[in-house]
Structure 1
């Protein structure tokens, strides 16, 4: 619960929603398009490692929340090491998910 409350306080639920959607799409790709599962996992892990708020959306009192990629950041202030660590952990978790899914045959509706 504390993590959820912090997500709401610092960026609404946008980061959580993007992470859930990316994970769900990646699992769906792994089930129905197994040859593309690692591509989907890389995209999902990137979305999780570099969350929407504050890295690709900004908040302004006049405009509200809007897209503004890396607003206020430069190469020296970006937490690149954190991005890499979170990306690797997310890829490890996707590997575990894919292992648990296994190579199930796709069944077609009659």
Structure 2
């Protein structure tokens, strides 16, 4: 079975799009980072290292220190698909991140985005 194209894409190539989407709606890069750190367990230094290494999405999630158990609370539609119904684990992780950035861009409060 062929890997989905996004799995082999560099996380660093998509990251600026996350930031741009958020900033266009008055949010900040640091809020995008906070979401990514919450989801993956990376700290800021390790996130920067992953960006610098041009790590692909598959490796980015494989090396994540601790995926947040509360991510299972992320519900809703992204790219026309309900994130909670995605069966492929890696694709689900990627779509969780997309959904969180989308919520940020839509003006949702950080404590709600981070499922507090």
State TM-score, norm by structure 2.
0.25
Structure 1 or 2, whichever has the larger Rg, is: 1
Higher relative CO (Cα under 8 Å, sequence separation at least 6) belongs to 2
State TM-score, norm by structure 1.
0.26
